[in-house]
Amino acid sequence: MKVHILDDWADTLRHLPCFARLAGHEVTVWTDRAEGADLAARLRGAEAICLFRERTRITADLLDALPDLRLISGRGAWPHVDVAACAARGVAFASRRPDEAPNHAAAELTWALILAALRDLPGQMASAKAGHWQAGVGRTLRGKTIGIYGHGRIGRLVAGYAAAFGARVLWWGSDAGCARATAEGGKVPGSRAEFFALSDIVTLHLRLTPQTSGIITAADLAQMGPQSVLVNTSRAGLIAPGALLAALNAGRPGQAALDVFDTEPLTDPADPLLSHPRVIATPHIGFVTEEEFDLQFADIFDQVNAFAAGAPIHLVTP
């Protein structure tokens, strides 16, 4: 098959073991971003498209421009794919959602951001390189209270890191998630307001769905203390539009450590959230490790091979 891989911005995949699974196919790897007519033009003749997470949206207009397309292969949730449009045009969409495998890379970045915020690592590094040596005084993680919003696979990994560092953990989320946390011996406070007020660090670990969009409100953020930190390595849309910037300007929370933004890629250095003096920012690298890529794209490429062999797997389209 003529297979096109989109959005491999660091040109990583062809150097990983999983890439050998596409031997026998005619493969094109795109290492830059394209949209609209430019995207349709570069994909002309493609029979299969491999998606790089949510970096490209699959729309009805794009599908109409690709009459040779037979398969779209992805991994995980698919808010960026118009599944109904795929089905209506006879394009198969396959995407494995591995419920049993937590994303260790995202959990590790979450922990790195927590430490970076408490010790002001970006500021200390910049000060040292500028020849100014120490810049201010950090805070110790041991004994702090970490509020984990979302009792899922990544949240449980973060809770394990907290225990290793001597931090306390509070849980919040859906009724089912809070029940699971309680059943496992976790601490669930008496109210949502108490969760935000008692947490020195609040870290979000939810999927973005219509039900969770904007689930973190301005009122929630206002409960946080002036020295607290909000960490988001999940999705920016979990926070109500504009609420975080307004909360930071009001001083509650005191800091935010963010890996996700409403617009991505975010390349405007003057963006008010990205440039905020109390924001530590990384460019959505929670899943960006060689090991995680190899794991995820092994599934994506296996879906291509299964489809080519006439025995498709992990189909989302009927």
Active site residues: 235, 264, 284
DSSP label of 239: B
What region, left, alpha or beta, does residue 24 occupy, with left being phi > 0 and alpha being psi -120 to 50 degrees?
Answer: left
The structure tokens listed for 193 are: 């307001």
- Distance between the two ends of the chain, CA-based, in angstroms? 22
Q: Report the alpha-carbon distance of residue 63 to residue 73 in Å, rounded.
A: 14
Q: In what order do the strands lie in the sheet with 201-204?
A: 168-172, 145-149, 201-204, 229-232, 255-258, 279-281
If you search the block for the tokens 């049993």, which residue do you land on? 100
Q: Report the alpha-carbon distance of residue 251 to residue 221 in Å, rounded.
A: 10
Q: Report the alpha-carbon distance of residue 159 to residue 168 in Å, rounded.
A: 9
Contact 49, 95 (CB under 8 A): no
The structure tokens listed for 49 are: 């498209």
Beta strands 201-204 and 229-232 are parallel
Q: Report the alpha-carbon distance of residue 247 to residue 266 in Å, rounded.
A: 21
Instruction: Name the residue type at position 230.
Output: L
Give strand pairing partners of 49: 4, 72
Q: Which helix (H) or strand (E) holds 154?
A: helix 153-164
Instruction: Name the residue type at position 38.
Output: D
Burial of 305 (C-beta count, 10 Å sphere; 0-12/13-18/19+): middle
